[in-house]
Amino acid sequence: MTIRKYILLFMILLSSCKKTGIGNCDDLQSLYSFSDFPIGFAIDMNELNYDSHYYEIAVSQFNSVTPENISRLSLL
């Protein structure tokens, strides 16, 4: 009898969960606007200086950056 209760409880919990949809990320809305926490990436300073498309994506889609290889101890 207790197994039936667990199965019933599991089915109730499973049916009450709803997956919320996330909209599509595009140029009009930034990636970090979909979350409550900072969204970042490891930035390549060479690409940032020479590639304008890389720069546009970095500025428009992320609100947190970390230097990629420039902060390694071997390079300092």
Question: Looking at residue 48, what is its pLDDT?
Answer: 83
Question: Looking at residue 11, what is its pLDDT?
Answer: 67
More confident residue, 73 or 27: 73
Model confidence over 22-66: pLDDT tens digits?
566 566 677 777 778 888 888 888 888 888 888 888 888 888 888
Q: What is the 3-state secondary structure (H, E, C) of the chain?
A: CHHHHHHHHHHHHHHHCCCCCCCCCCCCCCHHHHCCCCCEEEECHHHHHHCHHHHHHHHHHCCEEEECCCCCCCCC
Question: Looking at residue 26, what is its pLDDT?
Answer: 60
Question: Looking at residue 19, what is its pLDDT?
Answer: 60
Question: Looking at residue 38, what is its pLDDT?
Answer: 83
